[in-house]
Amino acid sequence: MSKIVKISSNKYNHKVARVDDNVKALLIKINDGEALNQEDIDALKRRKLISPQIWKGYSVKKGPNYAPKRRKPATDLTRENLQSGEWMELLFKEYNFLAKGFPVEGGYLHPLLKARILFVIFDIL
- The predicted-structure confidence for 86-101, as pLDDT tens digits, reads as follows 988 888 898 888 988 8
Residue 116 inside a domain? The answer is no
Mean model confidence pLDDT for the chain: 84
Residue 78 inside a domain? The answer is no
CA distance 97 to 4: 81
Is the overall model pTM greater than 0.75, yes or no?
Answer: no
Per residue in 56-86, pLDDT (tens digit) is: 999 999 998 788 888 888 888 899 999 999 9
Residue 48 inside a domain? The answer is yes
Residue 39 inside a domain? The answer is yes
**Whether residue 1 has pLDDT greater than 60:** no
Residue 24 inside a domain? The answer is yes
Instruction: Give the number of residues written for the chain.
Output: 125
Residue 38 inside a domain? The answer is yes
Residue 77 inside a domain? The answer is no
Q: Decide which of 62 and 107 is more confident.
A: 62
Residue 105 inside a domain? The answer is no
pLDDT at 123: 58
Bridge partners (DSSP) of residue 92 are: 74
- Show the CA angle centred on residue 42, arms to residues 36 and 47, nearest 5°: 115
Give yes or no for a contact between 27 and 49, defined as CB atoms under 8 angstroms apart: yes
Q: Which domain holds residue 42?
A: 19-53
Structural domain count of the chain: 1
